[in-house]
Structure 1
């Protein structure tokens, strides 16, 4: 049975949207598949890994007036469509347990699994909180903190990001126990307090899918779920069950030792010095004296890199060590011209912020070198 005939991109773009969460090897074979449904001239694509579900659809007038659903290997179909010429006309035809993709003289017969076996998400209906903002705003907010998420920490709640709606603020916080990134933006309406921990995979998918535009994104906090709706995409995810650390206790205040520095200059200097940092410990020493900052890296082969920067500073001298990766991460993910670095003593956490802006703070613990 012929399902649809369309340009390659009409099928490829929505397929690429959903396949980011699909695992090639899975204990449940159907989770490697994408659910395709044809209904009312709309072609819908759904992918899930049982924690996240992404749905998107494409309207095409050439679709037949039939209702049909099937699941097929997501990555295989995506790879086939990618390999076809850009202007190719693709026809999808279904038979008993096969889906055939045809383009010109090319034929691809793919195995299918029954659509009724696909584990669709039971979505919560009632939202506890709902906000609308621009996609670009949310993308920018997440980019300021997501690099600080833990990756495979035994404290599973750190392998994600805290999303907090409070009063007329949307706050995001990420930490791996060694550094913490905090950012917020103002909302147009007052909201009841609601907070969820988003899984790491969801944050990375949002960073990939959100457009840097003024198009709206609706964020809804549901019972044990969170839903993002934007640009013909609906992403629903389970939330991480756990108690996120109290970030307010971690952010230091009242530090007297501080200097402002050009972000790009600081970044490039650290990048050069990092070439000779210890590959395992990645240590860097910042030696702060009046009007001067020395940056020193060395490694187990007794090699050393030293850089000097002039800056406006007339406080106490300080010699403090850090993991250089933590400094490079924050400088790479900010866009401001200048950053402000504030310090207590050599054993206290340090604060990196943006002069004149209260909506971003980055705390990094020192290390012994």
Structure 2
């Protein structure tokens, strides 16, 4: 069988599915990409048994066939070819030969029938939402997911869906990120699913700011997202996410307003001399003024002062500066609000005048 295509048409879909392929696999076939050829279209599928990604490209061929090729080698060959190059792929026996210009590349294949597929149960819930909405929810919260935590349900992102809202929540036990999108979902009851970390990072990479609709299908153990010519399937984490509402600071709080960019720059400079392991930084609040201080075991010390809008009591509190910078890097407003209770309580960070996205950061002893 012979397939004719353009290098640029192939490379985009291959790069999409290539990131799903694990470099270290227990099954050799997981290093391959499944290629399904049908008149006018090539479909590419890659999986690591937790997530599966399928997308397609235009191509000309004289029949139908399924085969697998080494994903990384195929991608590297296509990347090395000149832009716009014509590509011919001939499949015969257990070998595939790719020709372009005067180049010829022959690769071994593994049987397509051995390629594993994720087969989710029938979807119990299905909804449509703008692609940009899901991307925004992920972008604003994914940084707070845990990484290889023994509490496996923290190694992912909670997606909570009601009739008029989609909410994303992530926490690693030291900080929490929550973001809401108000929209008519059409679902009957409340839905809570936990997407695994890899699926969240892949979706954040694949989704665009386009307002086109995507379809989200949820079953008891899987979620499937359809957008454009791409189908993304992931297993769900089977666990109970903690009651995040309990950690939201409440009661008699004192609010400071600061220029987001000014605060971010001051924290970045001060953090240079913080302890490299704990990254602690001391906040000393007084009316109209924020004093930042950091030091490390080498006896280095950094101090900086910043004018802020604050009329509360004097408070001295310590934070992991990395957690604060993570929040400031995803906020997209000129001013940031921080609500504090006392030196032993978590702070709530939000956009000034908005509670659509909320971030809780626990204090640390210095």
Cα deviations across residues 239-264 of structure 1 (Å, max 9, x unaligned)?
00111000111111234321111111
Cα deviations across residues 17-43 of structure 1 (Å, max 9, x unaligned)?
111110122110000100001023221
Q: Which runs of 5+ in 2 are unaligned?
A: none
Q: Which residue of 2 aligns with 1:331?
A: 328
Q: Which residue of 2 aligns with 1:318?
A: 315
Cα distance between partner residues in 1 of 2:352 and 2:331: 13
Q: In structure 2, do the counterparts of structure 1 residues 59 and 87 end up closer, same or farther at CA, with 3 Å as the change threshold?
A: closer
Cα distance between partner residues in 1 of 2:248 and 2:125: 27
CA contact (8 A) 1:33 1:47 kept: yes
CA contact (8 A) 1:159 1:199 kept: yes
Cα distance between partner residues in 2 of 1:148 and 1:367: 17
Q: Which residue of 2 aligns with 1:58?
A: 57
CA contact (8 A) 2:5 2:58 kept: no
In angstroms, what is the RMSD of aligned CA positions? 1.1
Cα distance between partner residues in 1 of 2:348 and 2:304: 21
Q: Which residue of 2 aligns with 1:288?
A: 285
How do residues 256-267 of structure 1 correspond to structure 2 at under 5 angstroms? 256-267=253-264
Q: Which residue of 2 aligns with 1:300?
A: 297
Cα distance between partner residues in 1 of 2:30 and 2:19: 12
CA contact (8 A) 2:20 2:48 kept: yes
Cα deviations across residues 74-133 of structure 1 (Å, max 9, x unaligned)?
1110011001101211111111111111110111111110000000111322x2222212
Cα distance between partner residues in 2 of 1:5 and 1:209: 26
Q: CA deviation at 1:204?
A: 0.4
Cα deviations across residues 189-238 of structure 1 (Å, max 9, x unaligned)?
44221111000001100111001111221111112100111121000111
How do residues 131-142 of structure 1 correspond to structure 2 at under 5 angstroms? 131-142=127-138
3-state SS of 1:21 partner: coil
Q: Which residue of 2 aligns with 1:237?
A: 234
1:97 and 2:94 correspond: yes
Q: Which residue of 2 aligns with 1:19?
A: 18
- Indicate which of 146, 151, 154 corresponds to 1:155: 151
Q: CA deviation at 1:160?
A: 0.3
Cα distance between partner residues in 2 of 1:297 and 1:245: 32
- Size of the aligned set, in residue pairs, is 365
Q: CA deviation at 1:324?
A: 0.5
Q: Which residue of 1 aligns with 2:244?
A: 247
1:143 and 2:139 correspond: yes
3-state SS of 2:14 partner: helix
Q: CA deviation at 1:134?
A: 1.5
3-state SS of 2:19 partner: helix
3-state SS of 1:53 partner: strand
Q: Which residue of 2 aligns with 1:196?
A: 193
Q: Which residue of 1 aligns with 2:126?
A: 130
Q: In structure 2, do the counterparts of structure 1 residues 175 and 301 end up closer, same or farther at CA, with 3 Å as the change threshold?
A: same
Cα distance between partner residues in 1 of 2:39 and 2:61: 9
3-state SS of 2:164 partner: strand
Q: Which runs of 5+ in 1 are unaligned?
A: none
Q: Which residue of 2 aligns with 1:279?
A: 276
3-state SS of 1:302 partner: coil
Q: Which residue of 2 aligns with 1:37?
A: 36
Cα distance between partner residues in 2 of 1:31 and 1:189: 36
